[in-house]
Structure 1
């Protein structure tokens, strides 16, 4: 009889609680797989705002390769529970990641890029560099 009670308890935990617990999310907390991004252009810089609430600062990665700025993040969570008797364990895993890439214009000062994360917004500042006449070459027509 005690085995039957354990099975009912097992059934209740995994079927009833999971199926009818409408307040608990089973997937990523956001409905989107990519965060929203705003790109602003100012007189002296570009700003990229990435809306990523709930992501820790250390989970972000920003790379620059061949004039392409890539912002990415990866998070992994694990949750486990044991019943009172220790006869079963329930483990749940959550994995989420994203990656966004931006091609920088020629007047971007790539060596001076800065980033800050505050209130769920990752703010990347890309200063502009002056385009001088030295970079412009005139070609003589023969």
Structure 2
């Protein structure tokens, strides 16, 4: 059972709104700047897994430039609802960019990426890399 709290009638609307946002765990959890990444070195392959739910395959850009693996994504959504006496328009936008220095022993032509179930998986075969070469990787 919830207890009643005495409210201060002189408390400003701004402080009420500030308290609401400060104490809202759902809002605080959703404000995350970049996704988590796991990198595994196994059997001649580097496996990079990026946890990025809420994105679509088309939102991602994966590239190798100047010896670095660059992973970025950007998405936005908008919902507008009009009813009898009110109009509500909600929107959201999310983006991130991560980069990782690649070792010299990879094959640039054998990098593959796919996105499924909120996970972006990138496999990088080991061999040689020309660090000045730029290559964009298609996501399946």
TM-score, scaled to structure 2: 0.67
Match of 2:126 in 1: 128
Partners of 1:81 and 1:29 lie apart in 2 by: 26
Could you tell me which runs of 5 or more consecutive residues in structure 1 were left unpaired when the two chains were aligned.
1-18, 131-142
Match of 2:3 in 1: none
- Bigger CA radius of gyration: 1
Could you tell me which runs of 5 or more consecutive residues in structure 2 were left unpaired when the two chains were aligned.
1-19, 129-140
List, as ranges, runs of 4+ consecutive aligned residues in structure 1 with deviation greater than 4 Å: none
Task: For 1:60-139, list aligned pairs within 5 A.
Answer: 60-84=60-84, 88-129=86-127
Which structure has the highest helix share of the two?
A: 1
Instruction: Kindly report the root-mean-square deviation, in angstroms, between the aligned alpha carbons of the 2 structures.
Output: 2.3
Pairwise CA distance, 1:105: 0.3
Aligned residues: 106
Task: For 1:19-30, list aligned pairs within 5 A.
Answer: 30=30
